Amino acid sequence: GAGVSQTPSNKVTEKGKYVELRCDPISGHTALYWYRQSLGQGPEFLIYFQGTGAADDSGLPNDRFFAVRPEGSVSTLKIQRTERGDSAVYLCASSRMRQETQYFGPGTRLLVL
């Protein structure tokens, strides 16, 4: 079956602009996660959704970052007033239930100029 997909695969934007990153999880997976991977680092947890609600957003770096999952499937990560330090690969993962194996998408590479 289809895996986790993310769009766009690459996004270049200017400092101060707003961006949206989309994640389509595996069908039927109730849990969805966002991670951020900076150059030379491992992925770092941002937020976890169980269904439509954000069960844990403790990894979001500040209030410029926000994520939604209105229908319990597709999720959008939104970044306001982007800064150069936001440049990274943003990874989405999903799992059937929260303690089960997480399947990762290919990521969106964000570059803020």
Partner 1 sequence: GDSVTQMEGPVTLSEEAFLTINCTYTATGYPSLFWYVQYPGEGLQLLLKATKADDKGSNKGFEATYRKETTSFHLEKGSVQVSDSAVYFCALRKGGGSNYKLTFGKGTLLTVNP
Q: What is the contact surface with partner 1 in residues (CB under 8 A)?
A: 3-4, 31, 33, 35, 40-45, 48, 55-56, 59, 91, 93, 95, 98-99, 101-107
User: CB-wise, 27 or 58, nearer to partner 1?
Assistant: 58
* Nearest to partner 1 of 73, 108 (CB atom): 108
Closest among 30, 31, 12 to 21, alpha carbons compared: 12
Taking the chain, what is the end-to-end CA distance rounded to the nearest angstrom?
A: 37
Q: Between 32 and 112, whose beta carbon lies closer to partner 1? A: 32
What are 10's two structure tokens? 């690459």
Residue 5 Cβ, how far from partner 1 at the closest point, in Å? 10
CA count, 13 A, side-chain hemisphere, 41: 13
- 105 contacts 92 by C-beta, under 8 angstroms: yes
The pairing of strands 44-50 and 75-79 is unpaired
Residue 108 Cβ, how far from partner 1 at the closest point, in Å?
A: 11
**In the complex, minimum distance from the CB of residue 104 to partner 1, in angstroms, rounded to a whole number:** 4
